[in-house]
Amino acid sequence: MKEKKKVLIVEDEKSLRDIFVDFLRRETDWEIYEAEDGEEALDVLKEHLPDVMVLDILMPKMDGIVLIKKMEAEKISEKTKIIFLTNSSELSTIQAVSSSSVIGYFVKSNIDMREVMERINQVFL
């Protein structure tokens, strides 16, 4: 039996996180995990080793940039590809991240769930 693809949604806004999780569970057969901040995401990464992480930048406790640095320092889930969720004012922050794991970003105000699903699916091809 083929192993299911794993996706982690890391977003501190519960309503937005729920939209992602509900949509992806309804439209795919992927294993979907969720976390509300970087600390919780770190635990999920260690336990489930997701293929893709959709990651908010600004979050309480630990932001997305710090999470990526911890992942790299601790060599946690090096295979996990990262798609940022951001507000347009944070684009320069994304450009400053030099991780080869980062494969793109989506601006929250212009989010299209089908496009997000397609971008995630490209990782699996």
CATH number assigned to the domain comprising residue 37? 3.40.50.2300
Residue 51 DSSP code: S
Q: How many Å apart are CA 74 and CA 57, to the nearest integer?
A: 19
Q: Residue 79 falls within a domain, yes or no?
A: yes
- For residue 115 the two structure tokens come to 């496009």
- What is the number of structural domains in the chain? 1
pLDDT tens digit sequence for 21-79: 999 999 999 999 999 999 999 999 999 999 999 999 888 888 888 898 899 888 887 78
Q: How many Å apart are CA 62 and CA 18, to the nearest integer?
A: 20
Query: Is the pTM for the entire model greater than 0.85?
Result: yes
Q: In this structure, which amino acid lies at residue 48?
A: H
Helix (H, G, I), strand (E, B) or coil at 48: helix
Q: In this structure, which amino acid lies at residue 14?
A: K
Q: Residue 1 falls within a domain, yes or no?
A: no
Which residues span the domain enclosing 49?
6-124
